[in-house]
Amino acid sequence: MRRGRPKPFSIRGPVMLFTAILVLIVTLTVLWNLALVHDYRMFRELTRPSDSFHWVLIAVGSTLFLTIIVLSSILGAQLIARTRWSQRQSELLASVSHELNSPLSSIKLFAQTLRGQGVQDADRERFLEKILTDVRRLERMVSNILRAAEVDHGGEDVPVVPRPVDLHAYLVDYVEDVRALHAQEVEVSLDGPTDVEVKIDPDMFRHVLDNLVDNAIRYRKEKPARLVFRILQKDGAVELRAEDDGIGIPEGAEEVVFRRFHRIDSLAPRRGRAGMGIGLFVVRSIVAGHGGTVGAERGGEGRGMAVWIRLPAVEAEGDEA
C-alpha cells in the first residue's frame, strides 16, 4: 500500500498551550496580589502604621512575577519563531527533493533511451536537447539555493561587484541566449531606449533575469509563455520591467511573493507549478545588493504579473559627484 504524504507539523497546538500558560501566570499574579493586600488590611492593626513590610513584599513579589511573565513571553516567541523556521526548512527540503527529482528522472530516462539501438538522428538531437534543458533547470535551482545560503551568512544583500553596463546591449545578448535555450517554452522581447547605462554586476544580475524568465515559464497560461523586458527612465533612475502574460497573482500578494520560502499555494497544484519559494527572494536580495529596489504589480487574475526593478543610472551618480 502506498503511504500518503505526511501531514505537515502545525504550531497551532504549542501556541495555544503557551497562551494558556501565560494566562494562568497572569491570573496567579493578580490573585496573589489581591490575597496579600487583603491579608495586609486584616493584620494592619496588629502592626505599627508605619510598618511597610507588606508593601515591600507586594512590590518585590509583583516585580518578580512580572519578570517571569516577560521572560516567558520572550522564550515563547523565540520557540515559536524557531518552530516556524524549522517548519519552513522542512518544507524547503521536501520541495527541493521534489524539484530535483523531476529533471533527474527525465535525464535518466532520455540517457537510457540514447543507449538503446536504432535511435534516429532526429530523435537523438531532440533527446539531447531535452537533457540539456533539464540540466539548465538543475543549474538554476542549485544557483538559487546557493544565493539564498549567501544571504543567510552575509545579511539580506548578496555581495556584488557592479560596473557601468549598457543595459540595452546587455539585455539584447541575454534575450538572444533565452531564445536559443528556451525557444519552445518562452517568447522574450525587449522594448525601450538604447542609450541607458547602469552599474550592475553582469554575472550576478543574470541570476535576476533567469529567475524572472523561470517564473514566466512556470506560471504561464499556455505554451509558450510571453515575456517583455521594458526599459524606462524615471527621476534619475532606470526601471526595468518584466511583464508576463501568465496566470497572475492573487490580490494583496505583491509583497509576500518576495519573502523567503513563500509559495502561493493557489497557483501551485496544476502541472507542478509550486517552486521552492526562493526565486523572487533571490531577485530582491541581488537587486538590493546593487542599491536598487524591486516590486511586483498584478495585472488581474489570468492577466499576468509585472516585476519592476529600479536601479540608479550612471549619469545620476556622476552629477552628484
43 shares its domain with 172? no
Mind listing the pLDDT tens digit for each residue in 62-96? 777 777 777 777 877 877 777 777 776 776 676 66
Does residue 121 belong to any structural domain of this protein?
A: no
Q: Are residues 69 and 202 in the same domain?
A: no
Euclidean distance between CA atoms 278 and 109, whole angstroms? 28
Domain boundary among 57, 87, 117: 87
Is the domain of 303 the same as that of 173? yes
Let me know if residue 127 belongs to a domain: no
* Same domain flag for 170 and 300: yes
CATH of the domain at 239: 3.30.565.10
Q: Write the CB contacts of 189 (distance below 8 Å, at least 6 apart in sequence).
A: 175, 226, 227, 228, 229
- The identity of residue 279, as a single letter, is G
Identify the sign of the CA torsion 178, 179, 183, 187: positive
- 29 neighbors 66 (Cβ within 8 angstroms): yes
Cβ atoms of 196 and 311 closer than 8 Å: no
Q: Is residue 285 a part of any domain in this protein?
A: yes
Question: Residue 288's domain spans which residues?
Answer: 163-320
Q: Are residues 197 and 288 in the same domain?
A: yes
Residue with cell 527541493: 96
180 and 315 housed in the same domain = yes
Distance CA 167, CA 240 (A): 9
Do the domain assignments include residue 254? yes
Amino acid identity at 254? E
pLDDT digits (tens, 9 = 90+) for 272-301: 445 667 788 888 888 988 889 999 988 765
DSSP annotation of 313: B
C-alpha cell at 315: 549619469
In a domain, 140, yes or no: no
With cell 533612475, the residue in question is: 237
For residues 69 and 174, state if they share a domain.
no
In a domain, 29, yes or no: yes
Containing 186, the helix (H) or strand (E) segment is strand 186-191
Residue at which a domain ends, from 87, 121, 148: 87
Domain count, the chain: 2
H helix runs in 241-305, sequence order: 279-289
Residue 320 — pLDDT band, cuts 50, 70, 90?
A: very low
Inside any domain, residue 59: yes
Q: Do residue 297 and residue 211 come from a single domain?
A: yes
| 175 — pLDDT class (breaks 50, 70, 90) | very high
pLDDT (tens digit per residue) in 181-236: 777 788 999 998 888 899 999 888 988 998 899 888 888 888 888 999 999 988 77
User: Read out DSSP for 30-74?
Assistant: HHHHHHHHHHHHHHGGGS-TT--HHHHHHHHHHHHHHHHHHHHHH
Same domain for 303 and 190: yes
Is residue 116 one of the residues assigned to a domain?
no
What percent of the chain lies above the pLDDT cut of 70? 72
Q: How wide is the angle at C-alpha 311 spanned by C-alphas 253 and 305, nearest 5°?
A: 30
Residue 58: pLDDT band (50, 70, 90) is: low
Domain boundary among 35, 64, 87: 87
Please check the confidence at residue 302 and state whether its pLDDT lies above 70: no
